[in-house]
Amino acid sequence: MPTCSRCDRLVDSQAVSCPHCGNQLKAFGHPGITLHQATDTTYLCDRCTYHEDDSCNFPQRPYAKTCTLFHDKSLPLVDESQFSPPKYGGIRGFQFWLSTNRGLVIIALIVIISVLVAVT
């Protein structure tokens, strides 16, 4: 459960504003748009990927105190585990291999059946 950046108390992850201090937690009143907030003494841009790679053109850069696009530069931009195949072993691994190589298996079966028919 996340904490409010102003009062540091636990808040619901879907809360649009902090029920304790009223701090705005989501942008445009939408629970799906997180409004990242800096502490009193820092700016978000100092820790942002898009400031570091110079791709941000927001007018509040480099002194953003709140931002919807902030991405912590210490974290990977894309979760690479989403793109790597799951590690299965045994029968589940074989089933996964069959499901991902279905075309190859069908061609191999056709070749094998053709050879058997030609030989007999």
Answer whether 44's CB lies under 8 Å from 64's CB.
yes
Q: Which is nearer to ligand SF4, 77 or 98 (CB)?
A: 77
Of the CA atoms within 13 Å of residue 92, those in its CB half-sphere come to 5
- The values of phi and psi at residue 3, to 5°, are -115, 155
Q: State how far the Cα of 120 lies from the Cα of 116, in Å rounded to an integer.
A: 6
Among 17, 18, 37, residue whose Cα is nearest residue 28: 17
For Zn ion, the binding residue among 2, 12, 13, 20 (CB under 5 A) is: 20
Q: Does 69 bind ligand SF4 (CB under 6 A)?
A: yes
**Binding track over 21-60 against Zn ion, x by CB under 5 A:** x-x-------------------------------------
Q: Does 4 bind ligand SF4 (CB under 6 A)?
A: no
Whole-number minimum distance, CB 70 to Zn ion, in Å? 19
- Which pair of structure tokens corresponds to residue 102? 């279905």
Q: Which residues bind ligand SF4 (CB under 6 A)?
A: 44-45, 48, 50-51, 56, 58, 60-61, 64, 67, 69-70
